[in-house]
Structure 1
Amino acid sequence: MKKVVIIISLICICAVFVFSVTFAETPEQPKGQIIGPLNKKTDLRVDNIYAANCKTNCDLNDVDAFYMDKIIVGISNNYEKSGGAEVAAEIKITYYDLGLGRSVTVTKTSPSIKPHPINPWLVSVTMVDRPVLVKKSTGIRAEVKIIPPPLGPRIVTITDSDPSNNVKTVHQCGVILY
């Protein structure tokens, strides 16, 4: 008789446990809430298009050409106009390569261009890492544009406060001295 009481008691305890777990109130899962839009400003700009070295002993003045050992583009994000907004950017250059006999376009991305109050020119992107003979009358045209941030819980809009300085064209080789 004692064994029967123990077995019935265990069955009742198990039944109460199963019912309490089965019919327990499940907590409500938080739903993805979209927070209001965030508008940021930035001021990306092309500061310079330059080479590591220019041929100074190669006289190309009588020809419609200039030589660059590589093509590097300097990009900055103006701190005063950006309000501290860090952005990703796409950099594109176009030039006429006399060696290839055709127009060439190269596009690269920079995942992060941060504004800096003291040294605004923080990003140098090597666009072409080989010697190039460029048609001088066409020059090298560089352009930078904002890559929109990925969609998330907050809609972020980034606008460039001065798009007029996002494009630059050079018609001769230049070197940056540090």
Structure 2
Amino acid sequence: MRIAPHVFLRPGELRQAKWNEIDFVDKVWRVPAERMKMKQAHAVPLSRQVRYLWQELRSLPRTNECLFPALYTTQRPISDNTMNVALRRLGFDHDEMTSHGFRAMVSTLVNKSGLWHPDAIERALAHGERDRVRAAYHRGAHWEERVRMAQWRSDYLDQLRVGGTIIEAKFNKRG
């Protein structure tokens, strides 16, 4: 859960992460197409904070390829409900926060900041371009901006922990 607010990925994409997908040299996480909702491989730039958290995980004894192995078997990742159960134990009700809520929170944060191009945000969210002609011209677009956005986001989250300025957003409850 400490990594979820730093990345734009869906909970399933995060919990199923494997060590061979993480490139510490190029500072990128390459998620294979079969795990992505849109069935297209996705590259995630890694902020300094995420690399640190994963280095901490890497130092723990492990016997398999999963970054987040299940408790009773190391042959598969944690269940799809593990993060939601942890949020409930922390006192969050199901209508206050969910594991997918981290993705919404981060999306809101970068959109409300006004610092990033909407297409860069959509690429970070792994939202596919519906217009095929436009998609053909955007394969590698916005990578450098996404790298800067990832570091900005992690730095902002660090500032919040020590009392930084909060970017406020209005949320509507669905009825």
Question: Do they fold alike, i.e. is TM over 0.5?
Answer: no
Q: More helix by proportion, 1 or 2? A: 2
Structure number with higher relative contact order (C-alpha < 8 Å, ≥ 6 residues apart): 1
Question: Greater share of strand residues, 1 or 2?
Answer: 1
How would you bin the TM-score normalised by the shorter chain?
under 0.3
TM-score with structure 2 length normalisation?
0.21
Q: Whose radius of gyration is greater, 1 or 2? A: 1
